[in-house]
Structure 1
């Protein structure tokens, strides 16, 4: 029988805190949803940064998190849609744009994209 861990999620956008019970063989996001907790998500396959969190304490396993570089994973970022708990955890939701910029900002030398302007104008 799989071990179950307590996951505490602090949602920075709403100021709410959630406590979840998540088996080690279940995705954290899916378990949150089955327990009635709505957290940010988009793709559900580890390719975007909508469900990104910062791990404050505990251990997480995310072999399918292709939307986060190994460097960001080492810095404590995780994607809840493809993450399994390996201990009790405390995590905090992140601003999607902030994580996206950390992940991909090096590819955009001119900074953030501005809507409505041609690529060669500021």
Structure 2
């Protein structure tokens, strides 16, 4: 028998909170949208950070969340587009730019990439 969980999604950017019912074998974003939630998203395949949330309580399973490092997952971040509930949940949507910076910021700001020159000649 498939379990169904209550998921509360706080969306401070729009000053709204959605409460939706999501089966353990369904993506949270897709089911929330089918129940009227208007949430941020972009790629829908776990590769970007547009649908990022911070878990306040509960448990999520997100094996396809390529856009989040293990470190960010350990810190309670999740991507709703590829997340399955594993308990009742409470999450908060995040600013995409902030999560993107946490995920990828260490790779930028080191100067422009120059083609054809060895690193020691730049």
Fold agreement, TM-score > 0.5:
yes
Stretches of structure 2 that go unaligned for 5 or more consecutive residues are 114-122
How far does residue 33 in structure 1 lie from its aligned partner after superposition?
1.0
Q: Which residue of 2 aligns with 1:78?
A: 78
How far does residue 109 in structure 1 lie from its aligned partner after superposition?
2.6
Q: Which residue of 1 aligns with 2:88?
A: 88
Q: Which residue of 1 aligns with 2:37?
A: 37
Q: Are 2:112 and 1:109 equivalent residues in the alignment?
A: no
How far does residue 57 in structure 1 lie from its aligned partner after superposition?
0.3
Encode CA deviations 1:45-95: one digit per residue, 9 max, x unaligned. 000000000000000000000000000000000000000000000000000
Q: Which residue of 2 aligns with 1:12?
A: 12
Q: Label 1:2 to 1:69 Cα distance change in 2 as closer, same or farther (>3 A).
A: same
How far does residue 110 in structure 1 lie from its aligned partner after superposition?
5.4
What is the RMSD computed on CA atoms of the aligned residues? Answer: 1.4
Q: Report the Cα distance in structure 1 between the residues aligned to 2:109 and 2:35, rounded to whole angstroms.
A: 42
Instruction: Specify the structure having the higher radius of gyration (Cα).
Output: 2
Q: Are 2:57 and 1:52 equivalent residues in the alignment?
A: no
Stretches of structure 1 that go unaligned for 5 or more consecutive residues are 112-118
Poorly superposed stretches of 4+, deviation over 2 Å: none
TM-score by length of 2: 0.89
How far does residue 12 in structure 1 lie from its aligned partner after superposition?
1.6
Number of residue pairs aligned between Structure 1 and Structure 2:
113
Q: Report the Cα distance in structure 2 between the residues aligned to 1:76 and 1:110, rounded to whole angstroms.
A: 28
SS of the residue corresponding to residue 8 of structure 1 reads strand
